[in-house]
A and B are shown apart, each in its own frame.
Chain A
Amino acid sequence: MEPTSPRFKQNAHAALANPVLQQALAKAKVGFSARRRAAYGQLPEFEALREEARAIKEHTLAHLDFYLEEFERRVIASGGQVHWARTAAEARDAVLAICRRLGARTVTKGKSMISEEIGLNDFLEAQGIVPVETDMGEYVIQLRHEPPSHLLAPAFHLLREQWSNSFRAAHKDLPVDRRLDEPRALADEGRQVLRQRFLAADVGITGANFLIAETGSTVIVTNEGNGDLTQTLPKAHIVVTSIEKAVPTLEDAMTLLRLLPRSATGQELSSYVTFSTGPRRADDRDGPGEFHVVLLDNGRSAMLNTEFHDMLRCIRCAACLNHCPVYLSVGGHAYGWVYSGPMGAVLTPSLIGVETAGHLPNASTFCGKCESVCPVKIPLPKMMRHWRERQWDRHLESKRYRAGLKLWAFMARRPALYRWGAELAARFLGNAGAAKGRFARLPLAGGWTGGRDLPAPEGRSFMSLWAERRRREGSR
């Protein structure tokens, strides 16, 4: 996926003017946070659990090489195979090689952000293999040729009307009078079409929420059951995933599972939690003939032990998106690549470069809500600030902004000069704005006054008034 992150401002502008998106966002604004709050209201040990989860992920990251090799040993022992991929291209090639060997023509896919990250669908299509997304949200955005706009709810930016229009456009044999105005009707239509695809698929691809080193199992957390059909029916199940998903034991995965659905959708547990360990065994009634795990690095190992290390704890629950006032204003597409919201603002520059994704860590008020809801306590604002530091060091921000800030800093480091400047500005602006008490327009302040007035200063700086008062008191 070609990033549009450099055009974040234009993307955001368009998003704010998009009535469908704004309606969808307005619904989400109340829904997600209320559900999460309700779920944690019934979990008094939430804070202790957060600390435990943080510790599990930190321990795993400190011994990541050990746990990944252990995971691979267990996968092999259960009859599967691990394909190590340093880059997106290596991951795509690993998937293609399996598909080619099996003569695959269609692959079904469960929801996977790693698949988005490596641009798997476009790649497979170019190779003549048809990928079919089976998560209902992913399916509809695939029909619309759109990327997901949310970690969990990929079609988050659409209303029911867009869904039914997309179905009508794609499902040619649909009777005109068929009603698609209810969620249930949409789900039935989607299921009916997808059922045939499940049965026809040669290979099934899913992601993974956790990789359990102790057992060699991969875990997916879903609500639709499509993941199970995707991975059970075809000749091979390919898990495309990334290295930071590893956890040491089954019990560790259970601890994280107490946090993930609650943080994500406010559910105590998702409808399905599926553990996959190797291909079908001789006495299994069903299951894939082959089991492959494509393990992607793509820049993650380079984040270990840097100022962005903590980001590798992320379990992709989307709580930071769901509570971010910036995300809830512009939606996920504005961020211009796979990951959005606060976690995307930190992760995306690591994966595609801060010169491309520089807007993302800047488009935050540092309100701190994201960090406060993160189940693994990732200090997201702090890491966004670290990206800003890298940008500053490399002179990546605009010349005008840099010049303005340097001028301000020059003044602020010279108290006498600053005093004089502040008093001058207070008097001048106070005087000019005295009649109305505010400015509707002001030269060089268009960024402020475009959508709000600028209250006028009272007319004198505090420091000069204070100095006068002290002098008066002294002479008394």
Chain B
Amino acid sequence: MNPAKPRVGLFVTCLVDLFRPTVGFAAVALLERAGCTVEVPAAQTCCGQPAYNSGDRDDARDLAGRNVALFEGFDYVVAPSGSCAGMLREHYPRLFEDDPAMHARAEHLAKRSHELVSFLVDVRGMNAVDAAYAGTIAYHDSCSGLRELGVKEQPRRLLRTVKDATMVELPGAEVCCGFGGTFCVKYPDISVRMAADKAADIAATGADTLLAGDMGCLLNMAGRLLREGKPVHVRHVAEVLAGMTGLAPPIGEAR
């Protein structure tokens, strides 16, 4: 490994791929600014969480096995999502507990896998970004990133260096927004209640912008804020950190 210029495999995540390609490009830009060479293996699809969290271990193992093989040669694997990075880091090894050879390979992947912003700060030592954003920002801590990977201070540290931006703390920032993968459509009543509670907390801060690091949570929170007509712009944190907010309107808003 060349520590000066590590090779990073970008794990795009299925939701960024489908809903918000700008986040993928923002991630690439940030990683390159952090001195990495970025590659995007074309055969990636999804980390397998929908299967894993539905009890479908066979499909989860199949997808995990594919990703383990696909990202074998990289110095690091980085995802713009705490949830998907958590799957790679914390859960892939568990899927192969009865298969020592695969388990070792999954462990090897797990050790090299990171959530984007924590990778920039903790591994690459980034402590400032060259970006500007005119707005008051509230940040929501997505559950997997926060509790599985310890992503908490890193995004705030970088956001504080964004020119023209003001940060406000979101009360209950660590409380789940109610997305929960397939939970949001299996138990929509409860999910919507949690999203509504979150929307009320966000609106109470007076912030005009909500950021987070996971597309699932962002779609959920944006969806509820839009439904309630709350004037809050929702974006993935990488868009702001990369200074790429001009490339796409906020999530759920028209061009």
Contacts and interface: CB of A to CB of B under 8 A. Distances in A.
Interface of A: 9, 12-13, 16, 325-326, 329-330, 362-369, 371-372, 385, 387-393, 397, 401, 405-406, 408-409, 411-413, 415, 418-419, 422, 425-426, 434-438, 440, 445, 447-448, 450-458, 460-463, 465-467
A457 B51 CA distance: 23
15 contacts: A365-B180, A367-B176, A387-B55, A388-B54, A389-B55, A392-B54, A409-B50, A412-B14, A438-B226, A451-B195, A452-B195, A458-B20, A458-B22, A465-B21, A465-B25
Contact of A408 (B50, B53, B253): B50
Interface string B42-81: 1111101011111111010011001000000000000000
Nearest to A435: B254
Interface stretch (B105-113, B130-138, B143-151, B203-211): B143-151
Contacts of B183: 362-366
B113 to A, nearest CB: 18
Contacts of A326: 190, 194
Contact of A462 (B21, B46, B144, B181): B21
**Nearest 8 interchain pairs by C-beta:** A365-B180, A451-B192, A388-B55, A455-B252, A392-B55, A452-B223, A447-B185, A367-B176
B101 interface: no
B89 interface: no
Contacts of A455: 19, 219, 222-223, 226, 251-252
B21 A460 contact: yes
B33 interface: no
Most chain B beta-carbon contacts within 10 A, residue among A438, A448, A450, A462? A462
B209 to A, nearest CB: 15
A103 B74 CA distance: 77
A359 to B, nearest CB: 8
Given A389-B57, A453-B226, A415 B42 contact: yes
Nearest to A371: B147
Interface string B186-202: 11111111111100000
A269 B223 CA distance: 44
B21 to A, nearest CB: 4
Contacts of B189: 9, 12-13, 16, 451
A438 B187 contact: no
A393 B46 CA distance: 22
A12 B147 CA distance: 27
Given A450-B192, A452-B223, A457-B19, 12 more contacts: A326-B194, A368-B148, A389-B55, A391-B55, A405-B59, A412-B59, A412-B63, A413-B59, A413-B62, A419-B42, A438-B226, A447-B184
A310 to B, nearest CB: 14
Contacts of A461: 17-18, 21
Interface residues of B, number: 72
B167 interface: no
A437 B252 contact: yes
Contacts of B54: 388, 392, 397, 401, 405
Contact of B53 (A363, A385, A409): A385
Contacts of B245: none
A246 to B, nearest CB: 30
A457 B178 contact: no
A16 B40 CA distance: 44
Contact of B223 (A16, A391, A412, A453): A453
B224 interface: yes
Nearest to A416: B43
A413 B17 contact: no
A325 B197 CA distance: 10
Contacts of B17: 422, 426, 461-463
B118 interface: no
Nearest to B15: A457
A12 B187 contact: yes
B21 A458 contact: yes
Q: Which of B16, B45, B144, B197 gathers most chain A CB within 10 Å? A: B45
A448 B59 contact: no
B40 A452 contact: no
B144 A422 contact: no
Nearest to A426: B18
**Which of B17, B182, B184 has most chain A Cβ within 10 Å?**
B17
A451 B55 contact: no
A330 B48 CA distance: 29
Given A365-B179, A425-B18, A437-B249, A452 B224 contact: yes
A435 B223 CA distance: 16
A389 B57 CA distance: 7
Nearest to B24: A462
Nearest to A447: B185
Contacts of A436: 254
Contact of B143 (A13, A369, A397): A369
Nearest to A10: B189
B226 A385 contact: no
B172 to A, nearest CB: 9
Interface string B1-41: 00000000000101011111111110000000000000010
A462 B147 contact: no
A463 to B, nearest CB: 6
A52 to B, nearest CB: 22
B18 A451 contact: no
Contacts of B181: 365-366
A413 B252 CA distance: 29
B248 interface: yes
Given A392-B54, A455-B252, A367 B227 contact: no
